[in-house]
Amino acid sequence: MELMGSKYKGDAKNGRMHGKGEYTFPTETKYVGEMKDGMFHGKGVLHFPNGSKYEATWENGRAQQGSFTFADGLPYQEKDWDYCNGYDRRFYTERCNGLRPAGESQLTDLHPPRVIPDGCYDCGDGFYDPNTRVVTSYTGRFLRNAVMAVNHLLRPLLCQSLVRQVRSPLVATSRLSAPLLCPDTTRYPAACTRLYATKKSKAKAKGQSAKVNINSALVEDIINLDEVKGDMTAVLNALKDDFTRNLSIRTSPGALDHIVVTTQDGKFPLNQLGQISMKSPQLIMVNMSSFPEATEAASRALRESSMNLNPEVDGTIIKVPVPKVTREHRENLAKLAKQFSNKAKDSLRRVRSNSIAEVKKMKEGHSEDIIRLVEKQIQQLSDNIAVDIDKQLAAKTKELLG
């Protein structure tokens, strides 16, 4: 609850809201009344930040019957309502600034309208994604988790009677400024209709998605996000090391340092068993006189490495001819780079899957919304690392193929 910015004060049963209490939403809208099993149930009043209120009888979180009163004390009534003029369908800005020229009709009170991501709502201070139930700012910053009880309130409250007056902004601005999903939007008409994206807006917004940015300290009891990020970053760093060690077209003694030799006493890096030096630009020498018994194992490790080497053993000396850098060799290295990147993505998927599985185990004791947000944060971290992997592959491929 604290993660979403909500607060509760009142009776509880089995860790859930039950009895009489006071629940405050992240938007500062406050519910005062009866609760049952964590939901609004019975008689209760929603007090909005601008002073208006909605008194209703609730059942399992949904308003069954209620009345809305504006901040100045005027009660809303379904019939004989004299405060909306259905004949004047201009927006408030059109009343103030005049109509737009022919062919430039306004679609909303704001002109030009915002580019709305496909399938989302514009709720005044950001976009609401019904799939994730998250409100993000117009720049993609996480604002808050939308509260389902308020979402259910939208339909039975005023939408049915005011949908035909959606272009009656003078009244909407003066009377209907109670922001249900978003604060500080009184300068815009609070129309209870969904603002669909136009085809042009869909094209512009293609590829945009709501970003999540959770404070890892707030979900430590679910999962350590910093540790997850560290594991994913380790996958990227391992890929960079593989690229540096195995896919270099520049020859140097250090190019063989990473090769691991398996002996009867264990596994050791080649540079700890033998002295590596350059005899010529086309030949690397490995002197195994310090550990002659490991000469054959070292030769086998060089041959089985991914560097396309064909070592020759002369006593305790291993001669390693350096392959000529041909176009075919470059293409083979590029294919190998692709294999490395695919393995890195497989490792990344394992980290992501294990992390999400760990989060799912913590469902008990936490709301579905919080679990969903944490899962989306993990997916977002994985997507970012996957993009970095693709960038590393593209840079290495360009370097190899020229």
Same domain, 254 and 397: no
pLDDT > 70? residue 158: no
Same domain, 331 and 226: yes
Whether residue 179 is contained in a domain is answered as no
pLDDT band with cut points at 50, 70 and 90 for residue 208 = low
Same domain, 332 and 284: no
Same domain, 259 and 317: yes
How confident is the model at residue 6, as a pLDDT? 80
In CATH, what number is assigned to the domain containing residue 281?
3.30.1360.40
How confident is the model at residue 350, as a pLDDT? 94
Last residue of a domain, one of 289, 321, 353: 321
Same domain, 254 and 385: no
Q: Which of 194-198, 273-277, 319-323 has the lowest mean pLDDT?
A: 194-198
Last residue of a domain, one of 288, 321, 354: 321
How confident is the model at residue 390, as a pLDDT? 94
How confident is the model at residue 20, as a pLDDT? 92
Same domain, 287 and 333: no
Whether residue 71 is contained in a domain is answered as no
How confident is the model at residue 146, as a pLDDT? 67
Contact between 130 and 119 under an 8 Å Cβ cutoff? The reply is yes
In CATH, what number is assigned to the domain containing residue 347?
1.10.132.20
Whether residue 286 is contained in a domain is answered as yes
Same domain, 276 and 317: yes
Last residue of a domain, one of 321, 350, 379: 321
When the pLDDT of each residue in the chain is averaged and rounded to a whole number, the result is 77
Whether residue 209 is contained in a domain is answered as no
How confident is the model at residue 178, as a pLDDT? 36
How confident is the model at residue 97, as a pLDDT? 78
Whether residue 38 is contained in a domain is answered as no
How confident is the model at residue 55, as a pLDDT? 93
Same domain, 294 and 256: yes
* Spatial CA neighbour of 372 closest among 43, 183, 129, 197: 129
Provide the whole-model pTM.
0.43
Same domain, 313 and 350: no
In the chain, what percentage of residues exceed pLDDT 90?
18
Torsion over CA of 322, 325, 327 and 330, rounded to 10 degrees?
80
- How many structural domains are present in the chain? 2
Quote the domain boundaries for residue 350: 216-241+327-401
Same domain, 386 and 266: no
pLDDT tens column, 357-385:
998 888 877 788 888 888 999 999 999 99
pLDDT tens column, 123-142:
777 888 888 888 888 888 88
Same domain, 261 and 236: no
Whether residue 276 is contained in a domain is answered as yes
Whether residue 73 is contained in a domain is answered as no
Same domain, 314 and 334: no
Whether residue 163 is contained in a domain is answered as no
How confident is the model at residue 202, as a pLDDT? 52
